[in-house]
Amino acid sequence: MAVKALMDLLNAGVELRAIGEAPASGWHLVIEASETVGIAIASLDEIPGFSPHLNRQQLIYNSEPTIVSAAAQHVRSLLQAGSPITLEALQAPTIHAYHVREIADSETGVTYRQLLGEYLANSTWFRIVDPYIRQAYQVRNLETMLQEVAIPVGCAVELITMYDENARYSYSGEADVRQRLDDLQRRLAAHGIVLTYSFDPTLHDRQIETADWRIVLGRGLDIFHPLEPGQSQRRAKQCRIICLRRP
């Protein structure tokens, strides 16, 4: 309903601007009929809104020309600093602007190429953020993904991950993870792919970022159950992958 109201105002020729977080104090509304006739309005409890709620708000006003003029100038400065609201910006995104893929537990036929290929295949750079690319099989998942999506020669892949550690027992798996990633660097370099990596102990969310897309990975790249004897296809784990086009 709010979007519909904004679109009606725009269609009526009203100029709208987004000003971010409006100041709670001061004059909120100004109506000027001329340089000497006008009124400045403020709410006593919260910023007034153009809704039925406005009828229940406690308002004060002042018609002193100097007050009205100063309030009008203040409101104009806020609006000039804001960004225009357009009909195009209010339109619902097309299906090409985002994609959601729901994967059922034990689903077969799922591949990295099927999930990520169209978003990564032509990239010259992308960043993978996943705290769980540390064990040997997780590094293999990364390598498999890069092979399956057929990224171009010269592509720069940036990885941000983390390693196991336990300060209580003075344990750190950093050396093991570095060895696995250094080995992967050399294998990828032989195919013209540049991999760099860094560690961030604060990581939690998992995603892939390209120049055009942000891909939210519910489980990161660890989306498959372990292979079982006689299994012809890998079974996927239940997860959701959301691909969002960057503005």
* CA 143/CA 140 separation, integer angstroms: 5
**Superfamily holding 95-245:** MITD, C-terminal phospholipase D-like domain (3.30.870.30)
Provide the 10 A C-beta neighbour count for residue 85: 17
Q: State residue 25 phi and psi, 5-degree precision.
A: -100, 165
- CA-CA distances (angstroms) from residue 221 to 2, 106, 126, 129? 39, 16, 15, 10
- Which of residues 229 and 199 earns the better pLDDT score? 199
Domain ranges of the chain: 2-90, 95-245
Q: Is 65 helix (H, G, I), strand (E, B) or coil?
A: helix
- CA-CA distances (angstroms) from residue 98 to 2, 93, 106, 214, 220? 23, 8, 25, 9, 18
pLDDT band at 97 (very low <50, low <70, confident <90, very high): confident
For residue 157, pLDDT over 50 is answered with yes
- Which of residues 151 and 187 earns the better pLDDT score? 187
For residue 1, pLDDT over 60 is answered with no
- Which of residues 221 and 98 earns the better pLDDT score? 221
* CA 38/CA 71 separation, integer angstroms: 10
pLDDT tens for each residue of 23-56: 667 777 788 777 777 887 777 766 666 555 556 6
- pLDDT given for residue 54 in this prediction: 55
